[in-house]
Structure 1
């Protein structure tokens, strides 16, 4: 899609994991590279937001880097990155989703339509780091942050969000702890 860019967040501290999640290898491929490869099925315009660009440059090519001065909350990192992207749509992804695959992401783009926010939902709530955001929702996001709020869930709950219909909910699984990592097939 010419009107779609992807933003991958790889700026977290990985404190629960005890090591940099983006560099953890599944089947010999770092999680960040796996996410990048999945996003490539949807767009060639991929941005990675991180405080540790030097750690990742050797595993990614043909990517736009957005450097953070320090790790920030996902909603702040996304908003800052979103302001630097010019496409109508942005696919936002976390770097720690080992079951994500490009074919499924590509199929999900067919659900983009009238809604400005199209996001996956789990039993715990919205999954903002697996979703599509149209440019026209950026002012609302900026206003939300300007009011001092920082919860992705609260912001999404205040918006008209279309839920992504997923045929395989396993793509939402993210690796936050060593126990999570043991569950990866």
Structure 2
């Protein structure tokens, strides 16, 4: 079976507290010529049926950037699994492709490569040759009820939930730097030094 772009919803995770950035909303942080969430959107736009942004504050600002903005279905900033579940529940397509808001260098062909690499699995997760990047993944929407149960049981570790399902690693060892994420101001400054001038 060949998956089409119309069967995939893009989901940008921007619902965290940004604790290691002093509580600032990371998705709205400026980086280069755009905000971080806009860089995340770049690799999705035109390649998926719809772009959802999972956010829990500054909703009006995010609404200007995404097709739809969705909040966590349960409050308390419970982490990325809650954001993923909220996105799976909100999606109208069979597949959801998840990316974080704080990885501005994700490859332009991310969607195509995850679609091509999933095979018959339920989840395809990016692997840079050394480690997995669990918040860069293509997930079957039908897994939403199982994730709801896992969250109800207290599960908050993405890799442990993935292990419950047919999960395939997709090789991105040709571009490991693409998965650099900006957790702190130091991370942001370090990547900014390598960022092409004028990149948007």
TM-score range, shorter chain: 0.7 to 0.9
CA distance in 2, matches of 1:155, 1:104: 22
Structure 2: any 5+ residue segments left out of the alignment?
A: 195-200
Asked whether 1:89 is paired with 2:88, we answer no
TM-score by length of structure 1 reads 0.88
36, 41, 44: which one aligns with 1:39: 44
Alpha-carbon RMSD: 2.1
CA distance in 2, matches of 1:123, 1:114: 22
Structure 1: any 5+ residue segments left out of the alignment?
A: none
Task: Quote the offset at 1:130 in angstroms.
Answer: 0.3
CA distance in 1, matches of 2:130, 2:119: 25
Does the 8 A contact of 1:90 with 1:133 survive in 2? yes
1:10 paired residue number: 14
- Secondary structure in 1 matching 2:160: helix
CA distance in 1, matches of 2:48, 2:94: 13
Does the 8 A contact of 2:78 with 2:156 survive in 1? no
Task: Quote the offset at 1:165 in angstroms.
Answer: 1.2
CA distance in 2, matches of 1:16, 1:98: 17
Task: Quote the offset at 1:173 in angstroms.
Answer: 1.1
CA distance in 2, matches of 1:99, 1:50: 21
Task: Quote the offset at 1:123 in angstroms.
Answer: 7.7
CA distance in 1, matches of 2:132, 2:143: 16
Asked whether 1:27 is paired with 2:27, we answer no
Task: Quote the offset at 1:25 in angstroms.
Answer: 2.0
TM-score by length of structure 2 reads 0.82
2:54 paired residue number: 49
Aligned pairs (5 A) from 1:88-127: 88-121=94-127, 126-127=132-133
Does the 8 A contact of 1:22 with 1:30 survive in 2? yes
